[in-house]
Amino acid sequence: MTTDKDTKPIFLEKNPYLIRRCTFKDLENVKEVNEKVLPEDYPFFFYKSILDKFPESFLVSYKKHDPDYILGYIMWRIERIPSKNSLRLINKGHLVSIAVIESYRRTGVASALLSKSMPEILKQNVNEYVLEVRVSNHGAVSLYQSFDFKIEGIKKKYYKDGENAYYMVHKIYKA
Ligand SMILES: CC(C)(COP(=O)(O)OP(=O)(O)OC[C@H]1O[C@@H](n2cnc3c(N)ncnc32)[C@H](O)[C@@H]1OP(=O)(O)O)[C@@H](O)C(=O)NCCC(=O)NCCS
């Protein structure tokens, strides 16, 4: 359930956009942004299930004076999988998707979405953040590198059109 507190905007100085949690009402607009800018489309129920399961880290960026105008979003999921070196199960924060409409790019929207969502994922006791990105998507790769993601491997033909993905990981070192 979403409360007023959950959707209270986080004000970012000097920027013409704000960030808040995604709500059910935003999902069609989020889907529209995705369809405009990424070749990977998801059915509505997919967005809904991410929102239901991981609402804290599903964030949207919207125009300052128009809360329904979604210009970017980020969604994550938590995966519980065996660790590489033992049978112990560990939590990974998996970046499902991030996108920003063209007219707002290079203004820090994606960085703000990552900065605000990563601490939410951390609260779920994750050992690492992981993501896949097209090897040709140099802009996104540099964005992730600026958030300390490192290329750990290549997933061959990961995308439907046959393009390879970099598997990028940001490890969390716990004291
Ligand atoms: C990748 C994407 C999310 C970046 O969004 P953004 O809001 O423009 O990113 P930011 O403004 O926060 O950029 C932060 C930094 O990332 C790097 N970066 C972002 N886009 C870049 C680009 N096209 N080329 C080179 N570096 C880029 C830069 O270092 C940038 O800092 P700078 O502008 O001070 O140089 C956006 O281009 C997008 O939506 N692309 C289409 C969808 C997509 O590829 N999603 C990722 C799928 S894995």
**pLDDT per position as a tens digit, 124-164:** 999 999 999 999 999 999 999 999 999 999 999 999 999 99
Of the candidates 102, 86, 82, 88, the residue with the CA atom closest to the CA atom of residue 33: 102
CA 111 to chain CA centroid, nearest Å: 10
- 103 Cβ inside 6 Å of ligand 1: no
Cβ contacts of 138 within 8 Å, gap of 6 or more: none
Cα 95 to ligand 1 centre (Å): 15
What is the amino acid identity at position 168? M
* 1 — pLDDT class (breaks 50, 70, 90): very low
70 pLDDT exceeds 70? yes
* 8 — pLDDT class (breaks 50, 70, 90): low
Distances (CA, A) of 1 to 46, 49, 114, 168: 18, 13, 23, 32
Cα 170 to Cα 150: distance, rounded to the nearest angstrom: 6
Query: Is the whole model's pTM more than 0.75, yes or no?
Result: yes
Select from 19, 103, 105 the residue to mutate for testing ligand 1; criterion: most ligand atoms less than 8 Å from CB: 105
- 36 Cβ inside 6 Å of ligand 1: no
